Structure 1
Amino acid sequence: MAKFLNTSATNFFLEELIKNAKERLILISPYLRLNDRIKELLEDKNRLKIDIRIVYGKSDLHPDEIKWMQQLDYIRVSFCKNLHAKCYLNEDSCIISSLNLYEFSQVNNNEMGILIKKDDDIDVYKDAYEEAQRIIRISDEVRISLDEVKTEKVEESPNSNTPSENIGKLTSSKLAAKHKIKTNELLDKFVELGFLTLNENGKHYLTDQGKNIGGEFRSSQYGGYFLWSENMDI
């Protein structure tokens, strides 16, 4: 029989679902920003050569997530347009929930979901598994690659008096590394200072105050990222 899950139970059973995967793991979530614990579990499954499929639905996949996924051989990532479903499966269990696979949601939001065991509800599990497979089939597999933002000084064109717009700029991850803190800690600090704000899905947006201190938002085919002055005092 299906089991009701509140926020803490959803997070607990999600970790258990990942830990207990022996053959396959499917993670479907519109928003994708993994916390350190989930990353550790997935890295362990990757070492065991478990087939892992991740489907996300928002094009702003964070550069840090891309760089992390580049290191894992058994994770395949797909993009599904108009995805709103949140579903997590291994060969024995399935969680259908309001919870995005997004660290902000896992900590801050009130979520609900249900846990389905294959042995207890085989028809429901089968229907959920088949729908997950359909979503995978209609998704576009993403080739995980990323040209890192180059923040070094670029030579000016001999016919131009305009300096490179990226001179003295660092991405959030590089600025965090410079100050020997985690990227998430840096972003949280910038929210606290009013340089960034968060929407209900945990996505960061640059504020006017952030722009005034030199922050910039840039878009690329792999998503958006922020640039900051390399001389910022954290």
Structure 2
Amino acid sequence: MVKFLNTSATNYFLEELIKSAKDRLILISPFLRLNDRIKELLEDKNRLKIDVRVVYGKSELQPEEISWLTELFYLRTSFCKNLHAKCYLNEELCIITSLNLYEFSQVNNNEMGVLIQRSEDAELYQEAYEEAQRIIRISDEVRISVETIGKESESTAEADEQSTDKLTTSKLAQKIGIKTIDLIEQLTHAGYLEVRDGKNYITFKGKNAGGEFRMSPKYGPYFLWPESFRL
């Protein structure tokens, strides 16, 4: 039996859907700017190693979202052109709704939706699940790397360098006389960085050595290192 959801019920059951996910979680929303409560729930799913797929499509990720997403190993993000569907599923529940995963929508808008329970209508649930899978297949997975600073973003990095005594990874590589990619490999081998799901993360050792994670509002995440840093 399909259950009608008003605004408050949609928000309630969305949280319950995320919390109760035991195996998989699919979140499809054109706009993506998560509130603190949803982030907290997704961080818990990440700790439990639950596979989470997030598909968005109407705007570029905000810097704060990029910074947060880089920390979640089991969450994968995809971009789907012309996406307008809003659909949220775990292995037992499905919500089809007008509600975006967007802070403004969850607080200010009047929304409607329906809740489908697999135990009560397996056929309808399966149809929604298969369409969600199709949307995932036609989406482009977004690879978020914490080392994206290049020539086009050096002005941002230089501003950081001028405010500290530290260098970006690319500038440190230039000073040492090697390629940036080779320096990243050496930093990883030495334990200052680690790679998880294709993304570079600064380790506790890297932080103790004076390394810092930074976020450029325009160009995304990168690292700073002490000018005197030595491998």
Classify the TM-score, shorter chain: 0.5 to 0.7
| SS, match of residue 152 in structure 1 | helix
Alignment of 1:87-102 (within 5 A): 87-102=87-102
Could you tell me how far apart the structure 2 residues matched to 1:78 and 1:18 are? Answer: 18
Q: Which residue of 2 aligns with 1:45?
A: 45
Residue identity opposite 1:152 in structure 2: A
Give the Å deviation of 1:151: 7.0
Q: Which runs of 5+ in 1 are unaligned?
A: 156-217, 223-234
1:10 corresponds to 2:17: no
Deviations 1:139-187 (A, max 9, x none): 00000135475472778xxxxxxxxxxxxxxxxxxxxxxxxxxxxxxxx
Could you tell me how far apart the structure 2 residues matched to 1:69 and 1:12 are? Answer: 23
**Paired-residue identity, %:** 72
Q: Which residue of 1 aligns with 2:59?
A: 59
Q: Which residue of 2 aligns with 1:177?
A: none
Deviations 1:79-115 (A, max 9, x none): 0000000000000000000000001100000000000
Could you tell me how far apart the structure 1 residues matched to 2:160 and 2:45 are? Answer: 40
Could you tell me how far apart the structure 1 residues matched to 2:63 and 2:91 are? Answer: 30
Residues 151/89 of structure 1: CA separation in 2 closer, same or farther (3 Å cut): farther
Poorly superposed stretches of 4+, deviation over 6 Å: none
Deviations 1:50-97 (A, max 9, x none): 000000002321010011000010000000000000000000000000
Q: Which residue of 2 aligns with 1:69?
A: 69
Residue identity opposite 1:4 in structure 2: F
TM-score (norm 1): 0.64
Residues 151/4 of structure 1: CA separation in 2 closer, same or farther (3 Å cut): farther
Q: Which residue of 2 aligns with 1:79?
A: 79
| SS, match of residue 111 in structure 2 | coil
CA contact (8 A) 2:63 2:218 kept: no
CA contact (8 A) 1:26 1:53 kept: yes
| SS, match of residue 159 in structure 2 | coil
Greater share of residues in helix: 2
CA contact (8 A) 1:66 1:145 kept: no
Residues 151/51 of structure 1: CA separation in 2 closer, same or farther (3 Å cut): same
Residue identity opposite 1:134 in structure 2: R
| SS, match of residue 128 in structure 1 | helix
Give the Å deviation of 1:121: 1.0
Residue identity opposite 1:61 in structure 2: L
CA contact (8 A) 1:14 1:88 kept: yes
TM-score (norm 2): 0.65
CA contact (8 A) 2:63 2:217 kept: no
Q: Which residue of 2 aligns with 1:152?
A: 159
Aligned length: 160
CA contact (8 A) 1:86 1:96 kept: yes
Could you tell me how far apart the structure 2 residues matched to 1:23 and 1:154 are? Answer: 44
